[in-house]
Structure 1
Amino acid sequence: MLLLWLVTPNQRLTSWFLRALVSRASKVCPTAMDFDGSSTIRRRQMSVTELAVYVDLIPWHRFGFCASNSAIFKAIEGYSKVHILDFSITHCMQWPTLIDALAKRPEGPPSLRITVPSCRPPVPPFLNVSCEEVGLRLSNFAKFRDVPFEFIVIDDPSYLASTEIMPKESSHDFHFESLLNHLTPSVLNLRDDEALVINCQNWLRYLSNIEQPGSSVQYSSLRDAFLRTVKAFNPCIVLVVDEDSDLSAPSLSSRITTCFNYLWIPFDALETFLPKDSSQRIEYESDIGHKIENIISFEGLQRIERLEPGIKVSERMKNAGFFSVPFCEDTIGEVRSLLEEHASGWGMKREEDHMLMLTWKGHNSVFATAWVPIDLQD
């Protein structure tokens, strides 16, 4: 593994699949491999500055940030108070850009509240500061930009986080069912005079899409329960961004094929501009390896990477009572400007249900969608 930088992207990708298969085999014969039930890949925690560089390497995350922020900005026009429920894995890296845009609003900035859950999937990137510290930094930036700001963390006593030990794959449930019990108007302090925004960036895939016998959740899966819960809050807009691939199949061979045919994209994209011995590239690829290991090595509730393609997510949104809304031309222009800052292989196209699709050399990679409750449909 120390010499991965010497070979081609496909060879490096293949090596991660081989590692995942070895990890899977170790679960069959644990005494031979001394398997302890956790991921074999250990990742360091990044500083905030390092995380900013990380999300800027390729537009994998920034595409969703840009499309969502522009759609949010348009949706909250005329509102003096805004409340964002943020469900994401990138530690609020999306929000400085929106705060800056709100500061420049001709009618003046609204007061902004951002609420985040204390629980988070144990997946990269990991940060070396707490949610509260992230909120403090955002508060300081908002104060500098003269934007009234409040940051709230939904505390869940059942979620035990540690800043000293990396989260383990064995914590596969993430207490999401407990989190759903905390998603109530009273706990969230929802207010009638606020524009409510639901932001889901690379989040839905970690909510189980399988039925859980004996679960107290009344819907078929936690994923559906979450969508119907937030729909009941009557938000003015819901943003859903995720990777466009189907990695939830029960068949291992199907997952291996689909996963390989999809995850070559970031490996290939990184190869176009980072040197062979780049620590940034090796670290980014290691995070993808973390994902591959979970997709290939684990089954049941421990297999948390249950990605669904955009078309399937759209079906779920419609079944939950949402209606898709188009991104405006200003948003399209902002996304295109963002992509111009990166390698020429990146592109964008429009799909059904007003979906924006990030592409690499013509291949679908990340989708962005915007939704409103059917009750609010114009």
Structure 2
Amino acid sequence: MEAFQLLYHIFPCVAFGFMAANEAISQAAQAKGSLHITDLGMKHKLQCPSLIRTLASRPEGPPTLLITTLTSNVHLLELEAYMKSLIEDASYLTRYSNGVPHNIRVSYTMSFNSRESQEKGNHYTSTVMHLHKYVKERKGSLEAIKKLSPARLTVVEQDANHNGLFFHGQFLEALHCYSAIFYSLEASLPRHSPQRMKIVRLYFAKEIWNIIAYEGSDGTERDEQVDPW
């Protein structure tokens, strides 16, 4: 996770994806007094802080905010601590409108069983670099999201074809894709810098290994281009 957060601050394409998703949600949620955001793949811990700051600075005042996330038991305690820190940070964001203070309020749940999710027009779903891991069950995953009836669904994924049927095609696609990424990193980080080595070894190496060496349910890095989505 540290490697991805480092990549986020160095590689503009990653940061732009999070920024675009937040902007889409904030525009769709204008004038809404309460929002329910389902954040799939919150383990990155990068989207919500900036989104909360954006919502807190709205001219009409910040909304009441409910954030839902899905997680496994392995990451449960870590995510609960993170969500509580978001609530504490949000409590300091106060904006005055006509002399009246408005405080943004954040609560969270770990399941979809919330009455607020049933209120039409205030539910937004965001998935950043996460849904491709379930591409083999895409129909079921998208049907589950559809049942939530979100006012807006934001999907940020890598535009690559890592879900081919044959090893040769997957290998060539990975070679071309990651060669371009590493070439882009040259502009920010020297090839042998400690930061770059950490990003490559702890993040990209795992992705590449999964793409070319794993099949079946173990092959989770299955990015697809925009048309199949």
Identity of aligned residues (%): 26
Aligned to 1:114: 67
Displacement of 1:148: 0.8
- CA deviation digits over 1:271-311, x for unaligned, max 9? 22213432210111111111111111111111111111112
Aligned to 1:264: 179
Q: Which runs of 5+ in 1 are unaligned?
A: 1-44, 155-182, 210-221, 314-378
- CA deviation digits over 1:121-171, x for unaligned, max 9? x9xxxx9x70011101111111111311112223xxxxxxxxxxxxxxxxx
- Report 1:117-196 matches (<5 A): 117-119=70-72, 130-145=78-93, 146-154=103-111, 183=112, 186=113, 190-192=117-119, 195-196=122-123
1:296 aligns with 2:223: no
1:58 aligns with 2:37: no
CA gap 1:67/1:305 in 2 versus in 1, 3 angstroms: same
- CA deviation digits over 1:240-276, x for unaligned, max 9? 1100011101200000011111111221122222134
How does the TM-score come out when normalised to structure 1?
Answer: 0.54
**Structure 2 residue aligned with 1:102, among 33, 48, 55?**
55
Cα contact 1:89–1:202 (8 A) shared by 2: no
1:274 aligns with 2:189: yes
What is the count of residue pairs matched by the alignment?
218
CA gap 1:136/1:54 in 2 versus in 1, 3 angstroms: farther
Displacement of 1:194: 6.1
How does the TM-score come out when normalised to structure 2?
Answer: 0.87
Aligned to 1:238: 153
Displacement of 1:63: 1.2
**Structure 1 residue aligned with 2:139, among 219, 224, 227?**
224
Cα contact 1:83–1:112 (8 A) shared by 2: yes
**Structure 1 residue aligned with 2:167, among 247, 252, 255?**
252
Cα contact 1:75–1:237 (8 A) shared by 2: yes
CA gap 1:292/1:89 in 2 versus in 1, 3 angstroms: farther
- CA deviation digits over 1:316-364, x for unaligned, max 9? xxxxxxxxxxxxxxxxxxxxxxxxxxxxxxxxxxxxxxxxxxxxxxxxx
The residue matched to 1:108 in structure 2 has which SS? Answer: coil
CA gap 1:203/1:224 in 2 versus in 1, 3 angstroms: same
Q: Distance in 2 between matches of 1:242 and 1:54?
A: 15
Q: Distance in 1 between matches of 2:83 and 2:150?
A: 23
Q: Distance in 1 between matches of 2:109 and 2:42?
A: 16
1:202 aligns with 2:155: no
CA gap 1:298/1:193 in 2 versus in 1, 3 angstroms: closer
Displacement of 1:52: 4.4
- CA deviation digits over 1:199-229, x for unaligned, max 9? 01111211142xxxxxxxxxxxx21111122
Displacement of 1:89: 5.5
Q: Distance in 2 between matches of 1:187 and 1:253?
A: 46
The residue matched to 2:221 in structure 1 has which SS? Answer: coil
Cα contact 1:91–1:131 (8 A) shared by 2: no
Larger-gyration structure (1/2): 1
Q: Distance in 2 between matches of 1:225 and 1:90?
A: 22
Aligned to 1:31: none
Displacement of 1:312: 1.3
Cα contact 1:255–1:296 (8 A) shared by 2: yes
Q: Which runs of 5+ in 2 are unaligned?
A: 94-102
The residue matched to 1:190 in structure 2 has which SS? Answer: helix
- Report 1:42-81 matches (<5 A): 46=2, 52-81=5-34
